[in-house]
């Protein structure tokens, strides 16, 4: 495969955009080679400016559950755009999407839309602090909740990829209120509660972590977390920006019996347009301005074009929930194929699947937390990623991310990707 045009485009971008990218992970720093610059997508495929075609297992990092250029979503977006791109005033489509979300999640009576997952989580944390009158929050190392100040502490995703899980520019006065616990380790959470001088406002968790690779929380751990929050008057926030509508129609909440107090959403509810949301009980949400004193706002919040895309995507999913069986089967078959390819050449690999989300680590032991994830063979991952790309398979460019199947991912694409994994691992394990 030739990448000449992408290499030139990356160089040109580098002159005017920091690192040549608008979001760090995209720079391919954790793997070999330079990022292909994308020309267009169609169904389960991506096409770059050199004319290369890739099976897309990133799907814009999750939002495109129906693949690229789904005709229904495209039509809804065009229809909405013809009426105007933004009004900064209420529209009925916001209420329609809100109703669909409220109808799905037991823990949500009211929901507010914002423009990104980062904004959703940042706002949810403020609300939790406002409701409880406490400043401290508990987060888990390796979980990534966007890049707002309070949460950019020992974070996963790009922060882990670049080896800077915390960031300069974030005041220590603020991060002293972020207490760190270990994923799947309830004793570490108890310690945070014990250490908190001012009281814990909330515990925030990705119930299916997708930003340290795919690392699901154990059911017993989530249950104990719920009990601990109740016993201490802290709110439990499930960050389902990634797992929402991906792990199941109800995200992690369709899998676990544990109910959070607040939920953050994003990605799929925008179907590729910029949308985030946070929701909770009527009582909690009543603290939010203009009903209550906790302030939060946005000119483009509830943008009508983005709402139309999300509403169409969500209604398609709700009217055909069996898609999750097919998505899950494809994800499982892909991971079994990768694992067999690794076994065939004696390369250690562990895999996991939750609905349409999949993950693999070059590791010989189960990965239950960030420390385990950090032990995976990242050099092997980098070589594997490059070999797969050269064979037309587009995987997330860091071992601290998750892969996604879309309804446009065909059985033939899964077969092709498995074949590529056999060839690549045969080559890189020598």
Catalytic pick among 70, 136, 239, 261:
239
Give Cβ neighbours of residue 22 (< 8 Å, ≥ 6 apart): none
Taking residues 355 to 394 in sequence order and writing x for each that binds ligand HOZ by CB under 6 A, - otherwise, the string is ----------------------------------------
The region of 19-27, 258-266, 305-313, 403-411 touching ligand HOZ under the rule CB under 6 A is 19-27
* Between 14 and 422, CB nearer to ligand HOZ: 14
How is residue 91 annotated by DSSP?
A: -
- Is position 47 annotated as part of the catalytic site? no
Q: Which of 2, 12, 18, 23 is in the footprint of ligand HOZ by CB under 6 A?
A: 23
CA separation, residue 349 to residues 2, 264, 285, 360, 365 (Å): 30, 31, 44, 7, 8
The distance of closest approach from Cβ of residue 397 to ligand HOZ in the complex, given in angstroms and rounded to an integer, is 9
DSSP string, 63-85: T-TT-BT-HHHHHHHHHHHHH-S
The distance of closest approach from Cβ of residue 393 to ligand HOZ in the complex, given in angstroms and rounded to an integer, is 18
Cis preceding-peptide flag for 31 (omega within 30 of 0): no
Q: Which of 28, 45, 57, 61 is in the footprint of ligand HOZ by CB under 6 A?
A: 61
Rounded Cα distance, 159 and 212, in Å? 10
Catalytic pick among 110, 139, 267, 330:
267
323-344 helix and 411-428 helix, angle to the nearest 10 degrees: 20
In the window 151-190, what residues touch ligand HOZ (CB under 6 A)?
157-158
Taking residues 208 to 247 in sequence order and writing x for each that binds ligand HOZ by CB under 6 A, - otherwise, the string is ---x------------------------------------
The distance of closest approach from Cβ of residue 117 to ligand HOZ in the complex, given in angstroms and rounded to an integer, is 8
Q: At 323, phi and psi to the nearest 5?
A: -55, -30
Q: Which of 265, 401, 403, 417 is in the footprint of ligand HOZ by CB under 6 A?
A: 401
Catalytic pick among 3, 45, 54, 144:
144
Q: Which residue has the tokens 């992690």?
A: 252
- Residues 57/394, Cβ–Cβ less than 8 Å: yes
Nearest-CB residue for ligand HOZ = 23
- Is position 267 annotated as part of the catalytic site? yes
CA angle in degrees (0–180, nearest 5) for 203-206-208: 140
* Between 27 and 341, CB nearer to ligand HOZ: 27
Q: Which of 25, 111, 212, 285 is in the footprint of ligand HOZ by CB under 6 A?
A: 25
CB atoms within 10 A of CB 346: 8
Tell me the two tokens of residue 418.
């498995």
304-319 helix and 71-83 helix, angle to the nearest 10 degrees: 150
The region of 18-26, 94-102, 200-208, 374-382 touching ligand HOZ under the rule CB under 6 A is 18-26
How many residues bind ligand HOZ, per CB under 6 A? 8
The distance of closest approach from Cβ of residue 313 to ligand HOZ in the complex, given in angstroms and rounded to an integer, is 18
The distance of closest approach from Cβ of residue 170 to ligand HOZ in the complex, given in angstroms and rounded to an integer, is 17
The distance of closest approach from Cβ of residue 291 to ligand HOZ in the complex, given in angstroms and rounded to an integer, is 31
Sheet with 276-280: list strands edge to edge.
110-114, 276-280, 262-265, 235-239, 200-205, 136-140, 178-181
Q: Which of 5, 26, 190, 332 is in the footprint of ligand HOZ by CB under 6 A?
A: 26
| Distance from chain centroid for Cα 22 | 17
Closest CA to 396 of 407, 384, 410: 384
- Is position 239 annotated as part of the catalytic site? yes
In the window 99-158, what residues touch ligand HOZ (CB under 6 A)?
157-158
Rounded Cα distance, 419 and 294, in Å? 53
Active site residue ranges? 144, 239, 267
Residue ranges that bind ligand HOZ, judged by CB under 6 A? 23, 25-26, 61, 157-158, 211, 401
């Amino acid at each position: 495969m030739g990448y000449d045009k992408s290499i030139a485009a990356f160089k040109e971008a580098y002159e005017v955009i920091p690192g040549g990218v608008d979001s760090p992970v995209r720079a391919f720093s954790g793997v070999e080679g330079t990022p292909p610059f994308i020309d267009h997508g169609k169904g389960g495929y991506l096409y770059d400016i050199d004319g290369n075609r890739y099976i897309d297992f990133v799907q814009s990092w999750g939002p495109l559950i129906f693949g690229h250029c789904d005709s229904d979503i495209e039509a809804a977006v065009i229809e909405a755009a013809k009426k105007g791109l933004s009004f900064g005033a209420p529209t009925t489509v916001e209420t329609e999407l809100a109703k669909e979300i409220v109808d799905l999640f037991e823990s949500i009576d009211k929901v507010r839309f914002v423009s990104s997952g980062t904004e959703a989580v940042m706002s949810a944390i403020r609300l939790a602090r406002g409701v409880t009158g406490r400043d401290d929050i508990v987060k888990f190392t390796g979980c990534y909740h966007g890049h707002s100040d309070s949460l950019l502490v020992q974070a996963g995703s790009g922060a882990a990829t670049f080896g800077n899980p915390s960031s300069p520019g974030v005041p220590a006065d603020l991060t002293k209120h972020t207490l760190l616990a270990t994923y799947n380790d309830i004793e570490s959470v108890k310690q945070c509660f014990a250490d908190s001088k001012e009281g814990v406002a909330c515990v925030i968790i990705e119930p299916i972590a997708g930003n340290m690779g795919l690392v699901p929380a154990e059911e017993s751990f989530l249950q104990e977390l719920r009990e601990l929050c109740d016993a201490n008057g802290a709110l439990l926030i499930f960050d389902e920006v990634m797992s929402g509508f991906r792990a199941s129609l109800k995200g992690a909440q369709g899998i676990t019996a544990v109910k959070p107090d607040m939920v953050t959403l994003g990605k799929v509810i925008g179907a590729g347009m910029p949308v985030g949301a946070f929701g909770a009980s009527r009582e909690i949400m009543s603290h939010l301005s203009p009903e209550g004193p906790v302030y939060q706002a946005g000119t483009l919040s509830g943008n009508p074009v983005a709402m139309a895309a999300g509403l169409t995507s969500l209604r398609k999913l709700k009217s055909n929930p069996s898609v999750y069986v097919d998505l899950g089967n494809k994800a499982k078959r892909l991971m079994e194929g990768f694992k067999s390819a690794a076994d065939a050449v004696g390369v250690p690999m562990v895999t996991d699947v939750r609905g349409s989300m999949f993950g693999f680590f070059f590791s010989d032991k189960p990965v239950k937390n960030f420390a385990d994830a950090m032990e995976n063979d990242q050099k092997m991952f980098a070589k594997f990623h490059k070999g797969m790309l050269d064979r037309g398979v587009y995987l997330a460019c860091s071992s601290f991310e998750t892969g996604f199947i879309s309804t446009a991912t065909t059985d033939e694409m899964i077969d092709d990707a498995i074949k590529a994994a056999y060839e690549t691992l045969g080559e890189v394990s020598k």
